[in-house]
Structure formats: C-alpha cells, structure tokens
Copies of this chain bind each other. A is one copy, B any other.
Amino acid sequence: MGLDLHADVAELTAALLDVESVSGNEGRIADLVAEALGALPHLKLWRDGDSIIARTDLGRAERVILAGHLDTVPLPTTEGARGTVPASWQADVLYGRGATDMKGGVAVQLALAAGLAEPNRDLTFVFYDHEEVEAELSGLGRLARRHRELLDADFGILLEPTDGVVEGGCNGTMRFEARSRGKAAHSARAWMGHNAIHDLAPILQRLSAYQPQTVSVEGLDYRESLNAVKIRGGIAGNVIPDQAVVEINYRFAPDKSIEQAEAVVFELLDGFEVVRTDAAPGARPGLDQPAAAAFVAAVGGEPKPKFGWTDVARLGQLGIPAVNFGPGDPLLAHSDDEHVSGQAVRDCLAALTRWLS
C-alpha cells in the first residue's frame, strides 16, 4: 500500500514508522517515497540509490532546500522498548524508531511537497539514505558528489528534530578506535600470554572520568560528549585475548577544527594506540546571515544550539546556509522510547506552510 501524502501528517508519520529503515535497509521506504512523489505533476524527480530529489521549477527568485534522512538507528534491544517497529499510538503521542529522528520531519517534507503546488519560493526536497552511519556512506554526500547542481539553493532547512524551534549550527563528530594488544595463550596458563582485554581498563577509566566541555559559540552554548560506543575483544572462551578494541565517539563544539578536536582525544588517551576512523566537522550557528535571520523571524521562538551533528554542516560546506527545524524532542532521538506528539508534527507543517505560501 502506498503513502497518502494528503492524510493527516501525524498519520503519515505513523505510516513511515511502520516501514523499518535501519541504515542500509532504506530500499522499501525510498520506493514508497518515490512512488508517492512521482504522482505529483508539479515536481520533477531524480533517484540515486535510495536517495530522492524532487524539485519545483517555478522560476521563483529564491530556492529553498528541505532535507531529511530516511534511515534510522537500529531497533532497541531492551525488552518492552516502545521506540521500535511497528509504531504505536498512546493518545496523540506516536512511539516508534525514528519518531523524532526523523520520520516526523520526513512526513512534513512529504506533506509540503504534496500540499504546496505553488509555493512562494522554489523548493528542492531531498530524502537520503545512510545518515546514521559513517560519514563516507552518507546519501547526501553522494548526491553532492554526483548531482551537485540539483542541490543548488539559497537557504536550507534540515528537518531534524528541534522541538519546533530553530537550532543553529551543530557539533562536529568523530570516531576513534583505541586498541590494546596482548599475547594469546591457553586461558589455563594465562601467565604464558598477556590479556588485551584487561589492558582496556585504564582507557575506560579515563573515558569514564572525563568531564566534557560546554563551549559558547556566537552566543549559543554547545555541550560536548565523549563516549565509548562499542567494545569488542576475545577469541574464544579458553584463550587469553590478544586484541581488544574500544570505539569512541567525540561530539565537539563548532569552535574546534577537526585537528583541534582530534588533539583532545589523543591527549586524553596518551600512551595508548588510538586511530581516528571517521570525522565530520561541526557548523557554526551563522544566524546572523540574512536568510537564516529572516527564517528565524518568520517562525519565531528563541534559537538554540544543535548538539547532534547534522547535515547543516554538509550544506554549509556546499555554500548553502542552513538551519535545523523539525518536530520532536531531540533528546529522545535514538532512545528506547523514541516518540513524537502528533501536534508537534502538525505545528511544524503549519509553520513551514505559512512561510512558504
């Protein structure tokens, strides 16, 4: 069954949540989005893998890009978690994986695409895959490499969850692997080997003891995070482990370059084998720029910093000033009981419809 883009936008969100689309598995949701948009005669469509671009071509003076990712993080593993697939309603609150991050925003994009046949600005809708994984897999990055001209715009809105206010800029993100090396031996004669897992203790201790900074950038306070996100090691139940690895994620304020942020982690874990595996710079808020300031004035509210890395950084690198503005509490993203209120999705749609009509 296809998507009904003219349904209540909260119902449309529910329909999107029912389609599992963990990163790497966006095929089905991309098919549904492409099929629904394909039925709209005022839009021209492009598809690249599981990313879709849909554009109006009305010769307006200004063009706005509205972007959102189709993928989600994996489903929760905790028993009884409600932020999963399929979605469920509790009164007007919709629970499901991606409810806040960011199928509510995607539903708003789709409703705008269907509802605004004659917007006051030309619109470019972008739906893309692989946002929740390594930066090099990003569908938006791929579109920028292959179809740069289709992304041209004067201003960008990324519909990541911001609880209905504008969130400026974003923290950067980088990943590291810290590795310990031991020597394998039979675990009954441990003294013949060296235990690599035991050697992780001081690394975890330093990470656990580290107090993340909060950095003020252009008046917005960016709170940082530094965490082990995965750990693995060991060969078999009776072998002294010869290797163990901690994956680390550092979310750093947009005052820092990638090199400066990297130095923080290398200094903290000085003496250990640490390599950087992934990095995406942050974006300064830039709300003093005319297009951003005008949008903030139109939708109202007090702008906040964006803690999560978002593709406003990537749009910024393409020369497109962009802000985050979408339904749902960003604090709930990736949580076990991810949810969004139906009203938040409707309000976001209403605000954008007003600005674009």
Residue of B nearest to A181 (CB): B78
Interface contact A230-B225, CB-CB below 8 Å: no
Query: A201 to chain B: which residues have CB within 8 Å?
Result: 201, 204-205, 207-208
Cβ of A85 < 8 Å from any Cβ of B? no
Query: A236 to chain B: which residues have CB within 8 Å?
Result: 73-74, 132-133, 229-230, 334
Interface contact A186-B335, CB-CB below 8 Å: yes
Interface contact A223-B308, CB-CB below 8 Å: no
Cβ of A55 < 8 Å from any Cβ of B? no
How many of chain A's residues touch chain B, expressed as a range? 35 or more
Q: In terms of DSSP, what is the predominant structure of the interface of chain A?
A: mixed
Contact of A251 among B187, B233, B234 (CB under 8 A): B187
CA distance A189 to B205 in the complex (A): 20
**In angstroms, how far is the closest chain B Cβ from the Cβ of A98?**
12
Interface contact B228-A185, CB-CB below 8 Å: no
**In angstroms, how far is the closest chain B Cβ from the Cβ of A279?**
12
Interface contact A187-B235, CB-CB below 8 Å: no
Query: A193 to chain B: which residues have CB within 8 Å?
Result: 335
Cβ of A188 < 8 Å from any Cβ of B? yes
Residue of B nearest to A185 (CB): B335
Contacting B at CB under 8 A, from A209-233, are 212, 223, 225-233
Contacting B at CB under 8 A, from A266-292, are 278
Query: A74 to chain B: which residues have CB within 8 Å?
Result: 235-236, 239
Residue of B nearest to A75 (CB): B235
Interface contact A336-B197, CB-CB below 8 Å: no
Query: A342 to chain B: which residues have CB within 8 Å?
Result: none
**In angstroms, how far is the closest chain B Cβ from the Cβ of A46?**
28
Taking A186-B333, A237-B247 as contacts, is the C-beta distance between A228 and B191 under 8 angstroms?
A: no
Cβ of A307 < 8 Å from any Cβ of B? yes
Interface contact B225-A307, CB-CB below 8 Å: no
Cβ of A343 < 8 Å from any Cβ of B? no
Interface contact B223-A191, CB-CB below 8 Å: yes
Residue of B nearest to A134 (CB): B237
Contacting B at CB under 8 A, from A171-207, are 171, 173, 175, 183-193, 195, 197-201, 204-205, 207
Query: A231 to chain B: which residues have CB within 8 Å?
Result: 197, 200, 231-234, 241, 244
Interface contact A187-B229, CB-CB below 8 Å: yes
Query: A183 to chain B: which residues have CB within 8 Å?
Result: 336
Taking A186-B334, A230-B233, A234-B247 as contacts, is the C-beta distance between A191 and B225 under 8 angstroms?
A: yes
Cβ of A293 < 8 Å from any Cβ of B? no
6 contacts across the A-B interface (CB closer than 8 A): A77-B243, A189-B223, A190-B251, A201-B207, A228-B241, A229-B238
Q: Which residues of A contact B (CB under 8 A)?
A: 73-74, 76-78, 101, 132-134, 171, 173, 175, 183-193, 195, 197-201, 204-205, 207-208, 212, 223, 225-244, 246-247, 249, 251, 278, 307-309, 330-331, 333-336
Can you list the 3 inter-chain pairs with the closest CB atoms, starting with the nearest? A230-B234, A188-B308, A201-B204
With A188-B225, A231-B233 known, 8 other A-B pairs at CB within 8 A are: A73-B239, A133-B236, A184-B334, A189-B307, A190-B212, A197-B228, A239-B334, A242-B336
